[in-house]
């Protein structure tokens, strides 16, 4: 028997969580000043007069470097809970984590060989 009343708190929470961003954006649209002058479309460089166009093309190398950083960061964050509960998880979890770390190391070696870590 499926009891719908068990999920009432979930639906209330979902409704409130959906309404908060909508209300925040609506208030921001009403309160924010609207000015569409030529200064609005110039780039801002810490108070210095901007030189050139704001729309410049970045090299893909910067994005590749950032992706490798994010992957290694996620690796570190996901290893922490495992390390905290190492004694309770046992040998099977150790094997799974070693497979996980091996895949990440293979990915790092691949990125290194492809030159994603070269900054020059």
Eight-class DSSP state of 57: P
Answer whether 0.75 is exceeded by the pTM: no
On the question of pLDDT at 22 being above 80, the answer is yes
Is 119 a member of any domain? no
Q: Where are the alpha helices (DSSP H) in 32-90?
A: 60-84, 86-89
pLDDT tens, residue by residue, 64-116? 778 888 878 887 888 888 888 888 888 888 898 889 889 888 988 888 888 77
Domain count along the chain: 1
Which pLDDT does position 14 carry in this prediction? 93
CA 97 → CA 15, 87, 109, distances in Å?
Answer: 38, 14, 18
Supply the range of the domain harboring residue 79.
Answer: 4-114
Which pLDDT does position 41 carry in this prediction? 67
For residue 105, what is the domain's CATH number?
Answer: 1.20.58
Is 20 a member of any domain? yes
């Amino acid at each position: 028997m499926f009891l719908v009343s068990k999920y009432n708190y979930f639906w209330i929470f979902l409704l409130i969580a959906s309404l908060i961003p909508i209300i925040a954006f609506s208030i921001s649209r009403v309160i924010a000043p609207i000015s569409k002058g030529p200064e609005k479309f110039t780039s801002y460089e810490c108070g210095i007069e901007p030189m050139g166009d704001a729309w410049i093309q970045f090299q893909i190398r910067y994005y590749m470097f950032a992706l490798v950083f994010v992957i290694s960061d996620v690796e570190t964050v996901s290893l922490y809970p495992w390390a905290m509960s190492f004694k309770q998880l046992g040998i099977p979890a150790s094997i799974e984590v070693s497979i996980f770390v091996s895949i990440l190391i293979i990915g790092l070696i691949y990125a290194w060989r492809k030159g994603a870590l070269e900054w020059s």
